[in-house]
Amino acid sequence: MRGINLPQTFERRGTSVPLHHKDFAHTRVREYFHGEDRLLEAVIPNYSGTRRGELVVVPWEQLPQMGSLDMRDLQVHEKVQATSSTRDLDPIKIREICLAADAALSGDPSIMDAAKQAVARDDEDRAMVRLSLIAQLTRESGIARGDTLMARTNTRTLMELMGSGSGRSRIDLDLLIERVMIFAAERGNCTVVDARSYLDPLVGMITPFGNVTTKGEEKNNGFLYLQHTRLLQFRSELSGYRNQIREELDHQVGLILEAADECIAYVNERLSLLNELLGKLADMFDGNMNAIDRLDRLRRDVGYGLDGWEDMITMWRGAYAARDAIGGDRAMERAVQRIAGYAPRIPVREMFPDHELVKPGSRYEQARVKMVSEMHSWENGTLDAELQSRVTKGREAKAGGQAASRTDTPAREPKSDQ
């Protein structure tokens, strides 16, 4: 799965575009530049039954000529074609395009209803995240001012204030928000008007991750957070099913688990960084773009890190739910084989951006670059003594050859002025 000619970055891997046409399953879109012209490519795996692992790459604009797209797929295709930047092609933006098309044009009522519900949940998530940000600012303000009550505030507290029928409670909430905005302005060395203007853009950036929570608070919103949770559950389900699979397919299950573990570790690391960043929310109101850039980078990384797994999980659970009707274990095995062929991997350069073996324009990328660089075995992670010995000898020979070359080269005589 990781070996030959893999893309070095998420952008070169492309973004999954879940088209309904069966020949375009797992298609990705990516951009490239021909001179100053921005062009889009469709990367189609296993097109019309080609051998597993093969990719067909065509101009994005040609997709409608290669298959009969329904109205929903045509709208998705047109919206993607109309994008103008790499940012417009990230997984969060593509999701918005697909949800809008599903809600308006899907021929399947269940898909249409699910899309409408997802859009409604996104709106609810935005409102809840706004409250959670205010709660976080309240906690930070309470800690800074030594106010124990404010330091214990959470999102539920604010919800109770909002739902109260007492006019006094509503006034208290307004006063609380004003107070935390003053605190944010003081911390950020900006005006209260500026602090308020920063709040909604921050809400929009954080909404995919769900509420900012404190210890003991549960989180059940934010589509990126929920996708991550689904991947964790899928990994657990597949691991539990592994002892039921035929021995011939155990290797493929192992490949899927390896890919899942790679993505989970990548996303976990970035979610940890996100929690650190949001733990000092008031520092993001200083007008300094460093924190905003970090947040934006984390959104990009987590979105791409989870990109493509939703289709895999849906395929797995669909096969499991209908296993009695479509062949029992054979249905599960077909799902395993398909997922093993298409499970997303993290591009090497995304994991090791500064690694010396990963250079722009490389035709091939190394499998497990970090292990190779540390001279560890690919199979079990232990030190490969033979490889270490060969590398050491090669370096000594190279150093000796360079020294001999310097010794054998005669010194040049100085040129005469005559």
Q: What is the mean pLDDT of the chain?
A: 81
pTM across the whole model: 0.78
326 or 216, greater pLDDT: 216
pLDDT tens digits along 227-253: 999 999 999 999 998 888 888 888 999
Least Cα distance to 339 among 404, 254, 265 occurs for: 254
Mean pLDDT, rounded, for 244-270:
92
417 or 196, greater pLDDT: 196
257 or 412, greater pLDDT: 257
Q: What is the pLDDT of residue 111?
A: 92
Q: Does residue 129 register a pLDDT over 70? A: yes
Q: Highest-confidence range of 97-101, 186-190, 409-413, by mean pLDDT?
A: 97-101
The torsion angle over the Cα atoms of residues 285, 291, 296 and 299, rounded to 10 degrees, is: -100
Least confident of 48-57, 186-195, 285-294: 48-57
Q: What is the pLDDT of residue 402?
A: 58
pLDDT band at 168 (very low <50, low <70, confident <90, very high): low
- Give 3-state DSSP helix, strand, coil % of the chain, rounded to 5: 65, 5, 30
pLDDT band at 167 (very low <50, low <70, confident <90, very high): low
Burial of residue 353 (CB within 10 Å: 0-12, 13-18, 19+) is: exposed
Q: Does residue 328 register a pLDDT over 80? A: no
Q: Any bridge partners for residue 118, and if so which?
A: none
Backbone angles phi, psi at 32, to 5 degrees: -150, 165
Q: Highest-confidence range of 259-263, 328-332, 350-354, by mean pLDDT?
A: 259-263
Q: Does residue 404 register a pLDDT over 70? A: no
Question: How many other C-beta atoms lie within 10 A of the C-beta of residue 303?
Answer: 22
The kind and range of the H/E element at 136 are helix 109-145
CA distance 196 to 295: 19
pLDDT tens digits along 103-127: 999 888 999 999 999 999 999 999 9
Q: What is the pLDDT of residue 157?
A: 76
277 or 97, greater pLDDT: 97
Is 264 in contact with 272 (CB distance < 8 Å)? no
177 or 286, greater pLDDT: 177
Q: Does residue 378 register a pLDDT over 90? A: no
Could you tell me the two tokens for 298? 């984390």
Backbone angles phi, psi at 5, to 5 degrees: 55, 35
pLDDT band at 359 (very low <50, low <70, confident <90, very high): very low
Q: What is the pLDDT of residue 383?
A: 55
The kind and range of the H/E element at 27 are none
Backbone angles phi, psi at 382, to 5 degrees: -85, 160
Q: Which residue has the tokens 């308020």?
A: 196
Least Cα distance to 323 among 237, 248, 259 occurs for: 237
Q: What is the pLDDT of residue 53?
A: 59
- Provide, rounded to the nearest whole percent, the portion of the chain with pLDDT above 90: 37
pLDDT tens digits along 28-67: 999 988 888 889 999 988 776 655 557 888 999 999 998 8
Mean pLDDT, rounded, for 356-384:
42
Backbone angles phi, psi at 58, to 5 degrees: -135, 160
Calculate the alpha carbon distances from 299 to 158, 203, 273, 303, 369 in Å. Answer: 26, 13, 11, 6, 25
pLDDT tens digits along 66-111: 888 999 999 999 999 999 999 999 999 999 999 999 999 988 899 9
Indicate the SS3 state at residue 278: helix
338 or 359, greater pLDDT: 338
Mean pLDDT, rounded, for 285-304:
84
